[in-house]
């Protein structure tokens, strides 16, 4: 979603900010802008569309020697994409400039109050109240910092905010509540970003702001004030664990295909040092400090959104079958508003690729006072969820640039398998076979890539259909949900995921020769039932594409088209099924001429509710 980048230091502030904004393009946005200060005057440039157009306009202004700048990429929440609605926003005399991620929930009330005092608005956004409110508070406060802090205290909602004032060209002011913000530390310079990706090539030393913290940043230092507790905060810089080369496109035409093909390394990275068949152990260092508490856990609630939610559904089957612990999976956006019994013997497990998903963060905040164990599965080291939870397991999948998550799902399901094994303490007969199979999976994924040409041909065959049904049973059911999501995300084809056993309870009404079905029919105890469901579809002239296990002849007799995966345990089938569905969706979208990395209306990191 929206991205913030800022710089204060020596020179070429605008160059750095624009480069940073471009590195955040994967998050999704519809407009972009930059503000800087030159000789006591503010210069603001805003554009609807891509950062490239903004760069061209800024280059024509020859302002690359400025030493302070803030920039923003906007994903529309309040108001259509337009120059007026793009950030930065400013006060009436254009002396205060603000960029903002999040949502100000009381902006209508503040807007009405400010209009009654003579302030006029040029945008439809919630953000524009902030510079006007700072301006108002500056009339009664002794310093810009005091006015900024008073303004922050008057805002309700979620935010990451950075502000500039023309009278202080050597200062950046920032604040955070439930929206990510990181400060990079350099030599006589500081960098600001809502996503560490934007500052990686300039520094690996960072300071993370926490909720209710306000920072005053100068080239040579920063001071952090917690406005809720009214105390100064001292923080040491942390070292980022990030390989910028892994975020490069290389020889691939787009990031989605690159990240699908990184699945073997993704699985390998997730199990390296954790799965130890020779010692008959599954070692998860991130859970070491809570192992004693985990002995008393009799229920796990998984909260997540989107693809992470579907990974959680696979995890529900895994943990219940392997570890024998009851699991409930809830959408984080619903969990926050539920009023349910929650005992201290329940653990909350939050899953998020970015570690900054607003609804999942809200779910964790909801149980802060419950005294329950909070666990996390995240990919981004140092992210908000990683720091909020009591313990957790990193995915180690490396950066994921494409909006539609691929390798993150693979990593999350791999980690959930490891957690299930770890919690089982070796009591399940699946313990050794699963450890062995996890080690074998990278090579089996590579076998699927060898049949990519066949998958692409099928994608071209089905690309012009406007509806699709995905079905599966047991482990195949959450895979069907994820498969439908992938297809609709990047191809814009209407797709639904359903349990195959529910076909008679409604979905059959939709089936005809124009409504194809993608059936997950891999080997398992429920395969015969899935084959019967496929027969029901065929009887209604529905076309069927099936995923089956190599060597199985029965599925080909009932499905029009079949894609085969290598033989594997039923519990690890989702990791291979997912690759097939990702490739199918990818090729459909490419055949339709869509931008697979930047699907319309979507954002990579969903930082607002």
Per residue, what are the HEC states of 280-301?
Answer: CEECCHHHHHHHHHHCCCCEEE
Residue 40 pLDDT more than 90? no
Q: Which of 428, 460, 487 is the last residue of a domain?
A: 428
**Per-residue pLDDT, 607:** 54
* Number of domains forming the structure of the chain: 3
Q: What CATH number did the domain enclosing 414 receive?
A: 3.40.50.10490
Whether 395 sits among the annotated catalytic residues: the reply is: no
Token couple for 365: 């905040």
Residue with more model confidence, 66 or 449: 449
**Exposure of 64 by Cβ count < 10 A (0-12 exposed, 13-18 middle, 19+ buried)?**
middle
Q: Which residues contact 551 (CB under 8 A, 6 or more apart)?
A: 567
Residue 327 pLDDT more than 80? yes
Residue 63 pLDDT more than 80? no
Residues 390, 536: one domain?
A: no
Residues 117, 200: one domain?
A: yes
Kindly report the number of other CB atoms within 10 A of residue 385's CB atom: 24
25-34, 279-288, 308-317, 544-553: range with lowest mean pLDDT:
25-34
196-210, 298-312, 313-327, 466-480: range with lowest mean pLDDT:
196-210
Q: Is residue 433 part of a domain?
A: no
Average pLDDT over residues 341-350: 93
Residues 283, 228: one domain?
A: no
Q: Which residues contact 392 (CB under 8 A, 6 or more apart)?
A: 286, 287, 375, 376, 377, 378, 385, 386
Q: Is residue 56 part of a domain?
A: yes
**Per-residue pLDDT, 330:** 97
Could you say which of 2, 305, 395, 479 is catalytic? 2
**Per-residue pLDDT, 516:** 96
Predicted TM-score (pTM) of the model is 0.79
Residues 211, 337: one domain?
A: no
The mean of the pLDDT values for the chain is 92
Residues present in the chain in total: 609
Per residue, what are the HEC states of 150-204?
Answer: HHHHCCCEEEEEEEEECCCCCCEEEEEECCCCEEEECCCCEEEECCHHHHCCCCC
Average pLDDT over residues 377-381: 89
Q: Which residues contact 416 (CB under 8 A, 6 or more apart)?
A: 311, 312, 314, 315, 318, 319, 377
Residues 535, 574: one domain?
A: yes
Helix pair 452-462, 431-450: axis angle to 10 deg: 70
Q: Is residue 248 part of a domain?
A: no
**Per-residue pLDDT, 151:** 97
Whether 2 sits among the annotated catalytic residues: the reply is: yes
Q: Is residue 207 part of a domain?
A: yes
Residue 609 pLDDT more than 60? no
Residue 167 pLDDT more than 90? yes
Residues 47, 196: one domain?
A: yes
Give the H/E segment covering residue 327: strand 327-331
Q: Which of 226, 242, 258 is the last residue of a domain?
A: 242
Q: What CATH number did the domain enclosing 124 receive?
A: 3.60.20.10
Residues 187, 320: one domain?
A: no
**Per-residue pLDDT, 432:** 95
Token couple for 609: 């509710």
Cα–Cα distance for residue pair 580/451, rounded to 1 Å: 9
pLDDT digits (tens, 9 = 90+) for 555-608: 999 999 999 999 999 999 999 999 999 999 999 999 999 999 989 888 665 655
pLDDT digits (tens, 9 = 90+) for 105-119: 999 999 999 999 999
26-30, 84-88, 155-159, 236-240: range with lowest mean pLDDT:
26-30
**Per-residue pLDDT, 22:** 87
**Per-residue pLDDT, 243:** 58
Per residue, what are the HEC states of 24-40?
Answer: CHHHCCCEEEEEEEECC
User: Is the separation of the CB atoms in 94 and 42 below 8 Å?
Assistant: yes
Residues 424, 307: one domain?
A: yes
Strand ranges (E), 83-171: 89-90, 96-104, 157-165
Q: What are phi and psi of 101, to 5 degrees?
A: -110, 145
pLDDT digits (tens, 9 = 90+) for 382-395: 788 998 999 999 99
Residues 475, 555: one domain?
A: yes
Question: Could you tell me the end-to-end alpha-carbon distance of the chain, in angstroms, rounded to an integer?
Answer: 11
Residues 331, 234: one domain?
A: no
**Exposure of 457 by Cβ count < 10 A (0-12 exposed, 13-18 middle, 19+ buried)?**
exposed
Domain ranges, residue 523: 443-599
Q: Is residue 150 part of a domain?
A: yes
Residues 23, 167: one domain?
A: yes
Q: Is residue 29 part of a domain?
A: yes
Degrees to nearest 5, angle at CA 296 with 290 and 301:
80
pLDDT digits (tens, 9 = 90+) for 490-530: 999 999 999 999 988 998 999 999 999 999 999 999 999 99
pLDDT digits (tens, 9 = 90+) for 440-499: 999 999 999 999 999 999 999 999 999 999 999 999 999 999 999 999 999 999 999 999
Residues 22, 106: one domain?
A: yes
User: Is the separation of the CB atoms in 389 and 358 below 8 Å?
Assistant: no
DSSP at 509: G
Cα–Cα distance for residue pair 555/548, rounded to 1 Å: 7
Average pLDDT over residues 126-143: 96
How do 517-520 and 182-185 pair as beta strands?
Answer: unpaired
pLDDT digits (tens, 9 = 90+) for 225-242: 999 999 999 998 988 765
Between the CA of residue 449 and those of 265, 440, 470, 562, what are the distances in Å?
14, 15, 21, 15
Between the CA of residue 493 and those of 128, 137, 310, what are the distances in Å?
37, 50, 19
Q: Is residue 376 part of a domain?
A: yes
State the alpha helices, DSSP H only, in 251-404: 255-261, 263-271, 291-294, 306-318, 332-335, 358-366, 384-388
Average pLDDT over residues 257-281: 93
pLDDT digits (tens, 9 = 90+) for 198-226: 888 889 899 989 889 999 999 999 999 99
Q: Which of 395, 428, 461 is the last residue of a domain?
A: 428
Give the H/E segment covering residue 250: none
Q: Is residue 262 part of a domain?
A: no
């Amino acid at each position: 979603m929206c991205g913030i980048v800022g710089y204060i230091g020596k020179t070429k502030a605008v160059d750095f900010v624009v480069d940073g904004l471009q590195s955040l393009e994967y998050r999704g946005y519809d407009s972009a802008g930059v503000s800087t200060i030159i000789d006591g005057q503010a210069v603001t440039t805003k554009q609807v569309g891509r950062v490239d157009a903004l760069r061209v306009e800024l280059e024509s202004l020859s302002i690359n020697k400025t030493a302070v700048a803030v920039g923003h990429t906007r994903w529309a929440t309040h108001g259509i994409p337009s120059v007026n609605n793009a950030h930065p926003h400013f006060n009436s005399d254009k002396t205060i400039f603000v960029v903002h991620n999040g949502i100000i929930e009381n902006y209508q009330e503040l807007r009405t109050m400010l209009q009654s005092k003579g302030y006029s608005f040029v945008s439809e956004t919630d953000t524009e109240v902030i510079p006007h409110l700072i301006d108002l508070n500056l009339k009664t406060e002794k310093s810009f910092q005091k006015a900024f802090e008073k303004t922050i205290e008057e805002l309700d909602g979620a935010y990451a905010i950075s502000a500039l004032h023309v009278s202080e060209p050597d200062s950046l002011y920032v604040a955070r509540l439930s929206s990510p913000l990181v400060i990079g530390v350099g030599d006589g310079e500081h960098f600001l970003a809502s996503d560490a990706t934007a500052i990686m090539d300039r520094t690996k030393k960072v300071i993370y702001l926490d909720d209710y913290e306000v920072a005053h940043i100068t080239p040579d230092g920063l001071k952090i004030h917690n406005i809720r507790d009214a105390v100064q905060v001292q923080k040491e810089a942390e070292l980022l664990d990030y390989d910028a080369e892994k975020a490069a496109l290389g020889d691939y035409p787009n990031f989605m295909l690159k990240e699908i093909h990184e699945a073997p390394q993704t699985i390998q990275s997730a199990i390296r040092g954790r799965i130890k068949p020779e010692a008959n152990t599954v070692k998860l260092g991130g859970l070491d400090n809570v192992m004693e508490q985990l002995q008393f856990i009799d229920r796990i609630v998984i909260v997540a959104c989107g693809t992470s939610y579907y990974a959680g559904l696979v995890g529900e089957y895994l943990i219940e079958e392997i570890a024998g612990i009851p699991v409930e999976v809830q959408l984080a956006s619903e969990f926050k508003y539920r009023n349910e019994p929650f005992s201290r013997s329940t653990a909350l497990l939050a899953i998020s690729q970015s570690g900054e998903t607003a609804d999942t963060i809200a779910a964790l905040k909801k149980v802060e006072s419950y005294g329950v164990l909070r666990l996390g599965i995240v990919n981004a080291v140092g992210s908000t969820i990683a720091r909020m939870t009591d313990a957790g397991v990193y995915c180690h999948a490396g950066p994921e640039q494409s909006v539609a998550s691929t390798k993150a799902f693979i990593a999350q399901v791999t980690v959930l398998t490891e957690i299930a094994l770890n919690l089982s303490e070796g009591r399940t007969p699946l313990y050794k076979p699963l450890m062995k199979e996890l080690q074998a999976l990278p090579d089996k994924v590579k076998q699927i890539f060898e049949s990519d040409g066949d998958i692409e041909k099928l994608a071209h065959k089905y690309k012009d259909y406007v509806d699709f049904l995905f079905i599966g049973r047991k482990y195949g059911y959450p895979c069907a949900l994820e498969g439908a999501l992938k297809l609709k995300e990047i191809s814009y084809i209407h797709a639904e995921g359903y349990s195959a056993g529910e076909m008679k309870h409604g979905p059959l009404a939709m089936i005809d020769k124009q409504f194809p079905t993608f059936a997950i029919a891999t080997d398992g105890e429920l395969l015969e039932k899935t084959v019967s469901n496929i027969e029901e579809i065929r009887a209604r002239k529905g076309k069927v594409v099936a995923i089956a296990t190599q060597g199985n002849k029965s599925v080909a007799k009932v499905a029009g088209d079949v894609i085969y995966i290598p033989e594997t345990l039923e519990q690890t089938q989702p990791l291979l099924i997912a690759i097939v569905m990702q490739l199918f969706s990818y090729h459909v979208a490419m055949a339709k001429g869509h931008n697979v990395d930047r699907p319309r209306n979507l954002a990579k990191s969903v930082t607002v509710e």
